[in-house]
Amino acid sequence: MACALAWAIHANAQPLPADAPTDRDFAQQVLEAVNHHRLQQRLAPWQADPTLSEIAAGHSQAMARLGALSHAGFQTRFERAQRRVCVENLAARYRQADRLVAGWQASPGHGENLLDARVQQVGVASVGGYVTLLACSAARVPAR
């Protein structure tokens, strides 16, 4: 088993505007922007996975409650995913998905995660401005 973590990106801590996209719409926009970037790099797009999306949503909800970005509990999320490889990117308070993904691209750890050829499936969630991207291999490991 292998796992990789990247550093979290936190944009300005201003409240999101009233006309910000819904959490679900924003998560979809992030996934589309990530897959656009992957296609530009001649990599296959990631496929959305409901289990990974549920895990990501739980973590985004926890960060929103705390009001802070944190990779705490990544090992637990990795084990719940039951995959051989998982990578995680976090962000907060972005208003535009393309800018969020550009921020990840500019960060060495985040950028590597976005281009990781070992992973094929993804869950993206946004709750209250806190975004979790959990991308994992399609290959599973047996439950413990």
Return the CATH fold of 21-136: Pathogenesis-related Protein p14a (3.40.33)
Q: How confident is the model at residue 77 (pLDDT cuts 50, 70, 90)?
A: very high
Q: Tell which residue, 69, 72, 59, has the closest CA to residue 123.
A: 59
Nearest to 113 by CA among 60, 74, 59: 74
Write out pLDDT tens, residues 28-60.
999 999 999 999 999 999 999 999 999 999 999
Token pair belonging to 27? 């998560």
**What would the two tokens of residue 11 be?**
């944009």
CB 135 within 8 A of CB 124: no
pTM: 0.86
How far apart (Å, rounded) are the C-alpha atoms in residues 8 and 113? 12
Tell me the domain boundaries of the chain: 21-136
Q: How many Cα neighbours within 13 Å face the side chain of 34?
A: 29
